[in-house]
Amino acid sequence: MSVGGPIGVFDSGFGGLTILKQFKAALPDYNFLYFGDNARTPYGNRSFENVYDLTLKGVRFLFGLGCPLVILACNTASAKALRSIQQNDLEHLAPSNRVLGVVRPTTEAIGEYTRNNQVGILATKGTVSSESYLIEIHKFFPDINVVQEACPIWVSLVENGELENDGTDYFVERHLSRLFTKNLEIDTVVLACTHFPLLMSTIKKYLPGKVKVLDQGALVSDRLADYLKRHPEIEMRLERGGQIQFLTTEKSENFDHHAKIFYGHGIQSEQIHLDH
Ligand code: DGL
């Protein structure tokens, strides 16, 4: 008999499915509950207060459904809301539960990738303006030089299924050349947005040959597996069975139709309403 609750995976919409896919591959025995706030997506251009408020609602909802652990799969939510939730809200919401994000595991590992300490971050406007990647990388690796480029249009390209065509080439090339104009020496690029891995084949066309691209989903999955080993008090509260449930604030037909781009195969979701 299964005890405990699923691992909650929160995202502004579809993007977190790219991360969930890798969680499932790395941790196939656990149950996951994915919650996409598609009715309010995208979060990338929203204010700090707005992202914080929406993310907190999502976390509260997932805790209410019994998730002892919630992962913010969205970079924008991780960058703008995670710290406040961990420091100010968790003790009132559910002190023995945990909320983790995708920024910290990425920044902790970045030193293993760069050889010359020159790193480029590609992300949404919100993630870039939060400076979370700069701050976190400098905590672990003060010598790494970080430059950032916001690529808001990349999210829309992916959401519209425009993964490979002339227009996509134009916008991918434009933002990459802006990034490298800021620092020609970059040897490692982080795709710090859930949507960007889907543009990988176009990104690779315009990336200087020796530049490495960090695969955030794989990295975050490895770190989650490691976290569960180091935190048996959380791990023992997680439900097993290999089941995944999908919830969205949009109409489920819309979610299911689009989700394939991100998850690789069809899924069936259920619409929920967040009224508090
Ligand atoms: N999930 C968001 C991220 O990783 C991208 C989509 C959005 O702007 O909501 O930053």
Residue 12 CB partners (closer than 8 Å, separation 6+): 36, 37, 38, 40, 41, 42, 43, 44, 54, 74, 76, 77
* Across 230-251, average pLDDT: 97
Quote the mean pLDDT of the chain: 96
7-101+218-271 fold: Rossmann fold (3.40.50)
pLDDT digits (tens, 9 = 90+) for 30-65: 999 999 999 999 999 999 999 999 999 999 999 999
Q: Find out if CATH 3.40.50.1860 is the number for domain 104-216.
A: yes
Active site positions, annotated: 74, 193
For 73-127, where are the E strands, in sequence order? 98-100, 118-123
Residue 1: the pLDDT is 42
Of ligand 1's atoms, which has the minimum distance to the CA of residue 123?
10
- Name the helix (H) or strand (E) containing 145: strand 145-150
Name the residue ranges covered by the structural domains of the chain. 7-101+218-271, 104-216
Ordered DSSP codes for 36-48: E-GGG---TTS-H
Measured in Å, residue 35 CA sits from the centre of ligand 1 at 14
Measured in Å, residue 77 CA sits from the centre of ligand 1 at 8
**226-238 per-residue burial string, b: 16 or more CB within 10 A, e: under 16:** ebbeeeeebeebb
pLDDT digits (tens, 9 = 90+) for 80-109: 999 999 999 999 999 999 999 999 999 999
Radius of gyration over every alpha carbon of the chain, rounded to an integer in angstroms: 18
Report how far residue 20's alpha carbon sits from residue 14's, in angstroms, rounded to the nearest whole number.
10
Instruction: Give how far Cα 252 sits from Cα of 69, 135, 161, 271, 275, Å.
Output: 24, 38, 18, 5, 18
Share of the chain above pLDDT 90, in %: 96
Q: Which of 106, 191, 105 is nearest to 148 (CA)?
A: 191
Question: Which of 9, 10, 11 has most ligand 1 atoms within 8 Å of its beta carbon, as the pocket-test mutant?
Answer: 11
**89-116 per-residue burial string, b: 16 or more CB within 10 A, e: under 16:** bbeeebeebbbbbbbbbbbbbbeebbee
